[in-house]
Amino acid sequence: MDPGPADSCSGWSQVISSISANPQTRFFSIVNPSDGPGKNGSQPTDAYRQCIQRLRPHSNAITLGYINTDNGNKNMTLVTFEIDTYAGWNSAYRPTGIFFDAVLSEESSFKSYKQYATYARDKGFNFIGLDPGEEPQPDYFGIADLVNVYESNYAKFQIDKDVVSDGLSTPTSNQSVWLTNAPVNESYTETISQMVKKGIMAVYISNLSDNESGIPTNWASFVEDVGKANAAPGNMAPTIKNTTIEPSHSFTPSSSSTRAPNDPQATGESSKQPSDHPLIGPIVGGILGGLVIVSILSCISFFIRKSRRKRNYSVTREEMAHPFTNSRPSLENNRPVIREKQRVTNVLGGLQTRATPRWGIPSVSTVSQSAPSTSALEGLSDVRTGLTMHSSLGESFPTRVAPIEPPPTYYP
């Protein structure tokens, strides 16, 4: 739709007035000078320059440059040239984003449209719209901010059938609906209310056909009904961007959400909606990281304690075995002061044994001549070691005696 003379912008005057009068309603205006931006590298006419600048001051208005992709048949080079042309417009009237029309929604064409969207964002456009006119493959929702999922007659539209939401893969908050050939004398209030409750991002209803250009007859009442539906209690207004979009190859406004005028998407600061739970990822990541660190420290502590217990246990076993063996703990690092030799006398039935207190087996120095009874000698046991000695009466013999040692004395 032509904006009219540059000094008045009469062709867009109703739209500009609605944008000013409804600051809580978001309007998407698709700018289409010549089935696209015009010749490669060109600037728009003076009328477009002046009238686009009358839209830009409003924080609830977003302008999108129109590009026809001819159902995926348009040469990719031509598409990128048109993106470059819009990018070359002066910043005073340069569009906020790009709107790709006649999109082929097949999986085989997704790669091309992903390249278009990426290229446009690299050129500084922070809002991407796609118009397949039907529900596309879920991947398309990941590359665009707005996807038009229905473009047909008002009378045929069935919201539960034509608007499908599969959670995050096909969110209704990224979808728009364009209804054409709507009855002039019928209220659109109920239809708009259903779409707002469903969470639809944008809606356009016109009594004109898809091939006609112009402002709908019921434009003023349509914009008013959208604003009322957004403000109604229980509706999903905060997740819907108000939009009225005219599918003709020209300017189009839109409506459907209650966002503050300083919304980042309205000012062009961001092309994506912020997450409803932006802190879940960092919190979960922090908890998991902490658990990993605690687990590592616990394992290190366990092995250290185990090593210490093993070392202490070996020392204790050695000390326990010492009184019954010839092994002697090393005194190299802790040499005791050995006391003076001590005479130990064991008298039992006249048998006398003298031993020098030392490590190892003591020597036997003397056997008494007093003959004890056989019963006194037989079965003689050393209580400390459990070893038994036997002797014949009156014989002198070397006796095997297990160590009878006093505990060593250590002096400080």
Average pLDDT over every residue of 265-285: 46
- CA–CA dist 36, 29 (Å, integer): 14
Predicted confidence band at 211 (pLDDT cuts at 50, 70, 90)?
confident
Give the pLDDT of residue 169. Answer: 83
Distance CA 255, CA 252 (A): 11
Q: If pLDDT is split at 50, 70 and 90, which confidence band does 1 have? A: confident
Burial of residue 38, with CB atoms counted within 10 A of its CB: 0-12 exposed, 13-18 middle, 19 or more buried: middle
Contact between residue 214 and residue 186 where contact means Cβ atoms under 8 Å apart: no
> Domain segments of the chain: what residues?
10-271, 337-412
Measured distance CA(147)–CA(164) in Å, rounded? 12
So what's the pLDDT on residue 60? Answer: 94
pLDDT tens sequence across 133-167: 999 999 999 999 999 999 999 999 999 889 877 77
The CATH class given to the 10-271 domain equals alpha beta
- Total-model pTM: 0.60
pLDDT of 98 > 60? The answer is: yes
Residue 275 confidence (pLDDT) above 50 = no
Q: Is pLDDT at 401 greater than 50 in this prediction?
A: no
% of the chain surpassing 90 pLDDT: 49
